Chains A and B, each alone.
Chain A
Amino acid sequence: MGASFVKKCLVVDDSKVIRKVACHMLETLDFSVVEADHGGEALERLKTDIPDVVLLDWNMPVMDGMEFLDAMKALALETRPKVIFCTTENDVDHIRRAMAAGADEYIMKPFDRETLQSKIEIVQAGAVNGQSA
């Protein structure tokens, strides 16, 4: 990308293991990572610092992924981070619901580094996204 600043990603997941795996992958992709344990905590983080990308779990205590998306919209942020839903749900209806709720991309767990990298490229380029037609 050539830019000297590091990109930021907020990882929202109630599983410490998942956060750790995701953080590790993201760091190899030159992201600095901030973690949150649930949607509520993630929302607090957004108020002080807006990341480039949010990797968002669906099922979490306190505030789940869908509620987080709504709450984030309500914040009316000046620049909205790109949101990648990242869950074990793999049926088409779930995916459609997430995209309709405003997610930019969707990853099914488990995934590898190439998959994460490609999804980040997709949301950042906004190009090859299959939604133009």
Chain B
Amino acid sequence: MTIAPSTMRILSSLLEARTGQCLSEGRHWRVEMALNPILKKRGIEDCNALAASLAAPDARRLSDETVEALLNNETYFFRDHDAFADLPRVFEAIAANRKGRKTLRIWSAGCSTGQEIYSVAMQLRDDERRWRDWSIELLGTDISQSVIDRAKRADFSQFEIQRGLAAGHMLRWFENSDGRWQARDTLRDMVHFRRHNVLDVPPPGQFDVILCRNVMLYFPGINRAKALANLARALAPDGALMLGAGETVLGYSDRFEILPGVRSLYRLAAAEPPQILRVAAAGS
């Protein structure tokens, strides 16, 4: 089967409208593979027929499923080990400014099936005594409802559980039954998950650390800029933003600058001049 150019156009505009991602040329070959399960399940002949069905007025379920299938949800525990190794120092630096209220808020935007934010949770709990009397809020969000459901269940296959996760962490935080690895409630209860589009208004309140890693990869520049602007709004003035290895804010946002001495981490660029000065400058 060949995918007609019109099919490709329908699929990419659907994906972009819902998630902000574009279906770049390089990903075309994956489309067929990604959509195959839907074709089988629904008895649809091929991708072209699927695209045609998407035009029907009652196609919301089908279009949801199609978008979910087209997303890349690849993730694993402690992905980019070196970057995670820097995180405790960042938590310490921020915590030094939070001694009064003793709260930390951490957000994983584009969390997929949860490995990233659960890694943060385990890492914080490694230092049990340090954070004992702190209130730590961990939030994972993703555009895809199906990965959010999986993240909440926190039940991983053997393949998933050992990708990036040390045996010590695995034994401490997960129970094995019949080859599935289920997070203990003590870990699961530390994290909340909900559906959210990183291009929409951010969740309320300010976050001390935001992880948005390997999410903007397929965003066109304009959406990267939009997502980064949202993240800048949601970040505490002394907070840190962690991107994926090889991702950058350069060229998409001037709200952030590199956090010196650590990998993949950014902070808000020096504060803008106060409103009154800018108004004065504009008026002069």
Contact = CB atoms under 8 A, between A and B. Distances in A.
B158 interface: yes
A3 B253 CA distance: 35
Interface residues of A, number: 27
A95 B165 CA distance: 14
Contact of B167 (A95, A110, A132): A95
Contact of B76 (A110, A118, A132): A118
Interface stretch (B168-176, B214-222, B260-268): B168-176
Interface string A80-104: 0000000000111001100100000
A95 to B, nearest CB: 6
B172 A130 contact: yes
Could you tell me the dominant secondary structure of chain B's interface residues? helix
Interface in A106-126: 106-108, 110-112, 114-115, 118-119, 121-122, 125
Contact of A118 (B126, B158, B164): B164
Contacts of A118: 76-78, 81, 163-165
B176 A130 contact: no
Given A107-B162, A114-B163, A122-B81, A99 B168 contact: yes
B78 A108 contact: no
A114 B176 contact: no
Interface string A15-39: 0000000000000000000000000
A133 interface: yes
A129 B166 contact: yes
A96 B169 CA distance: 12
A88 to B, nearest CB: 10
Interface string B65-101: 0000000000011100110110000000000000000
A131 interface: yes
Contacts of B173: 130
Q: Which of B126, B159, B166, B170 has the most chain A CB atoms closer than 10 A to its own CB?
A: B166
A13 B264 CA distance: 38
Contacts of A91: 176
A125 B82 CA distance: 9
B9 interface: no
A115 B163 CA distance: 4
Given A107-B162, A118-B163, A131 B168 contact: yes
A26 B126 CA distance: 30
Given A128-B85, A133-B126, A105 B167 contact: yes
Interface string A56-86: 0000000000000000000000000000000
B128 interface: yes
A90 B157 CA distance: 12
B8 interface: no
Contacts of B85: 125, 127-128
Interface of A: 90-92, 95-96, 99, 105-108, 110-112, 114-115, 118-119, 121-122, 125, 127-133
Given A128-B81, A133-B126, 13 more contacts: A92-B171, A95-B170, A95-B171, A105-B166, A107-B162, A110-B159, A118-B164, A122-B81, A127-B85, A128-B123, A128-B166, A129-B169, A133-B128
10 contacts: A92-B175, A92-B176, A99-B171, A105-B166, A108-B162, A114-B76, A118-B77, A125-B85, A128-B123, A130-B169
